[in-house]
Chains A and B, each alone.
Chain A
Amino acid sequence: MIIAIQLLVLLLITLSTILVVGVPVVLASPGQWEQSKGLIYTGAGLWTGLVIVTSLVNSLVV
């Protein structure tokens, strides 16, 4: 179970890093927002879900 938390946290850190770079680049590139906003919303939703799932799994273990 601990390995599950570690993998979830690794995934969360990776996705966070991608979003930290990706969101401002998409927002400030001309015409890019209309093209990529679905991807950004999906990434944000996935990130929120990962936070909730990680907290649930963590509360089961510790």
Chain B
Amino acid sequence: MINWQVIAQLVSLGVIVLVGPAVIILLSLKRGNL
């Protein structure tokens, strides 16, 4: 029996954690005003 709720919680946490650094990486790739 797979605990889908915990998997969804971990995926949500992963998205939230990764979204912040994604902004920095995108701006550095686009040579934005960091």
Chain A-chain B contacts (Cβ-Cβ < 8 Å), number:
28
Whether the Cβ atoms of B26 and A21 lie closer than 8 Å is yes
CB <8 Å contact, A24 and B23: yes
* B30: contacting residue among A17, A20, A21, A29, CB under 8 A: A29
Cβ < 8 Å to A, chain B residues 1-34 = 15, 19, 22-23, 26-27, 30-34
Which secondary structure dominates chain A's binding surface? helix
Q: Please classify the interface of chain B as helix (H, G, I), strand (E, B), loop, or mixed, using the class held by over half of its residues.
A: helix
A61 at the binding interface (Cβ < 8 Å)? no
| Chain A interface residue count, Cβ-Cβ cutoff 8 angstroms | 9
With A28-B27, A29-B27: A21-B22 Cβ-Cβ less than 8 Å: yes
